[in-house]
Amino acid sequence: MPTNRTPLYRRRRLLTWEEEASLEWGDVTRGKPPAFASDAARRAAWERTREYFLMSYAYQDGTRPQAWWDYDAPQLGVKHPRDYDYERAALWDAKLLSDEEVATLETRWREYFEQAQEPEFWFCLGITKPGSTSATWLKGAAARRAHYRWAGIPHALIRKWSAERRPHQKTFR
């Protein structure tokens, strides 16, 4: 029976799911072969699909795909922080975030900073000792430092906001 329907043409996938995952999160294939045959093949795939990945990351509040950290960041002089929580802070320090990302992140970081200024502030580290069934809690300055680390607040902002909170000392003669 004839039809007048127009066939749909879908975008052909350039990469397999494993290859996309490798570029986005890094190689985390446990027990399986790597997604790419070599680092050169991975770099070539990143060069072909960089714009696609960066557009999809444009709305993720200051993070970048793992391939960006592997191939583009060294050229810009930025080191990938060992701690995932400081990834946004490293990009903020290097001034590589868009104005929207900076505004969003600074607002969120300021909320976390103010939260830690409450008089009876406590921070839970979770279960830190093997075999323990109770969580470890911190109080005071140690709790604030742990909270700042967890929130990934850049050190420069912590110093700035802490200085703003200190009472101004004037010398009267």
The reported pLDDT for the residue numbered 80 is 85
Measured N-to-C along each axis, helices 155-165 and 99-115 cross at an angle, to the nearest 10 degrees, of 50
Which of the residues in the chain have pLDDT under 70?
Answer: 1, 7-13, 29, 58-59, 168-173
The reported pLDDT for the residue numbered 9 is 62
The reported pLDDT for the residue numbered 115 is 94
Residue type, 29: T
Q: Is 81 helix (H, G, I), strand (E, B) or coil?
A: coil
The reported pLDDT for the residue numbered 170 is 59
Residue 14: HSE in the Cβ half-sphere, 13 Å Cα cutoff: 12
* pTM, full prediction: 0.76
The reported pLDDT for the residue numbered 25 is 87
Spatial separation of the C-alpha atoms in residues 102 and 154, rounded to whole Å: 12
Which tokens is 131 given?
A: 């075999």
Which tokens is 25 given?
A: 């999160």
Q: In which residue are the tokens 């995932």 written?
A: 84
The candidate with the shortest Cα–Cα distance to 14, out of 46, 39, 54, is 46
Spatial separation of the C-alpha atoms in residues 173 and 97, rounded to whole Å: 47
